Amino acid sequence: MHNFSDYPRRLLITTSLTFSFLGLTTVSACNFSKSHSDIKDAAQTPVEVLVSSHLIASLDKAMLTQKLNGSGITALNGVRIYQVSYNTLSFDHTPIRASGIVLIPDSGASSYPWISLQHATLTKKADAPSMNPREGLADSSQGFVTVVADYLGYGDSAQIYHPYILENGYSAPGIDILRAARELTETQNINLTTLFLKGYSEGGYATASLQKALESLGTNEFSIRASSASAGPLDVEKTGVLVVQAASIDPANIPFLILAYDHWLTGDSMPLSSIFVPSIEAVTHALDGRYTSTEIAQQLPTTTRVLFKESFVNDFISATPILPEAVQLHQLLKSQSLLTNWAPKSPTRIYHCIDDEEVPVAVTIEATAIYKAAGAPVESVLIPSPDPSKPYTHGTCPAIFAPLAWFRQILAQDQALAMSKTSAKTP
């Protein structure tokens, strides 16, 4: 476990870096024939993966550095941003069209390392990366091709409800956008080399889900060099209990999860009126994809026992719940835990701010202990707040960007090792 007290404080910016698009350019759609298989069903009928790609924005090095102002990150290059549409499988294993973005450095190299970046929670569908591309700028500015999926329920698949914190909602779509990105870069004679995975918050859970899926493929198609699944609810049940125990709550998270679980796991049969104080119409309206988390907090209570019925809260956080709705939710949450029947095989770091008010750091401490007990190459990096009176929040935690330095360190070490081996072979 690392202490992060010396981490540069200047990295306190959010992962959403807004910019305006200049010189918008569109390229013709490209069709490809590479097929994929459902990781749960090897007999899935092959279909085309990458359907189309369009250049939607270009930022030169100076512009990108300006966009990263305040982050402590200086761009090493500019970036071209492509919107991609691709075929994949939905949570229920039915075919679906999904989308995302691929950010390619403009330095003109013939090969680049790449990052699969899983973004944090978005409740407004119009904020999907392919529609409002703010994700991955910092990563691509450091010479990485960066791949960012919209997630199911956004972009090309906006017609369905987002399978929020549901493992299978991230696996096939996450793998297939990597395949689509590889196809896109091949058309530009770019070779993708070392693969890293990175995500924060929902993205931390999504990253671990994708890592599990990739490590379970049983092929050499993708080799993960390192992964950072940070500040995510890896133990969904424990996260739920700790969050509901608190006096205050972000109404954009647990309610979003409950609605997603109700839709995808129970066929809309949960007794929601036994859980929520506001009407179900008010809850579903607030979370219908039109509002940001800030706007949702203006519509729904931010006091836990005003958002949820007191009888439900008391029973749900008890040692032995007995109310049917509490028992059912515990079972559903437990079914999506990433701490059972799997441990990472690739080097993995879990970054987490100690004072995180949305995903308690206890979840990361538990996950790290369980993974290490299974022999997994996992370590946690716990980040204290420099000023206890102004603690890092979930949204300002430097864990959002911290993995970049680790990835660059790994690349430098790998390069040095390769050079030493070459020198040893030279007569």
User: What's the domain count of the chain?
Assistant: 2
- Same domain flag for 204 and 241: no
- Same domain flag for 216 and 250: no
Q: Over the stretch 45-67, which tens digit does the pLDDT of each residue have? A: 445 799 999 999 999 999 999 99
- Tell me, what's the pLDDT at 124? 98
- Same domain flag for 222 and 298: no
Count the residues in the chain.
427
- Same domain flag for 62 and 145: yes
Q: Which of 335, 358, 387 is the last residue of a domain?
A: 335
- Same domain flag for 118 and 177: yes
Q: Tell which phi-psi region holds residue 325, choosing left (phi > 0), alpha (psi between -120 and 50) or beta.
A: alpha
Q: Which of 335, 351, 373 is the last residue of a domain?
A: 335
Q: Where are the beta strands (DSSP E) in 27-106?
A: 50-59, 79-89, 95-105
- Tell me, what's the pLDDT at 426? 66
Mark the ranges of the chain whose per-residue pLDDT is less than 50: 1-37, 40-46
CA distance 248 to 51: 44
What letters, b where the CB count within 10 A reaches 16 and e where it falls short, cover 37-64?
bbbeeeebeebebbbbbbebbbbebebb
What is the distance, to the nearest Å, from the Cα of residue 140 to the centroid of all Cα atoms in its chain?
Answer: 16
| Residue in the block written with tokens 């701490």 | 339
- Same domain flag for 396 and 268: no
- Same domain flag for 57 and 111: yes
- Complete edge-to-edge strand list for the sheet that includes strand 111-118: 2-3, 378-383, 348-353, 224-230, 191-200, 111-118, 145-149, 95-105, 79-89, 50-59
What CATH number did the domain enclosing 66 receive? 3.40.50.1820
- Stated as kind and residue range, the H or E segment containing 196 is strand 191-200
- Same domain flag for 101 and 40: yes
- Same domain flag for 303 and 410: no
- Same domain flag for 419 and 390: yes
- Same domain flag for 311 and 362: no
Q: Which domain does 266 fall in, by range?
A: 236-335
- Same domain flag for 127 and 61: yes
- Tell me, what's the pLDDT at 343? 97
Q: Which of 320, 335, 350 is the last residue of a domain?
A: 335
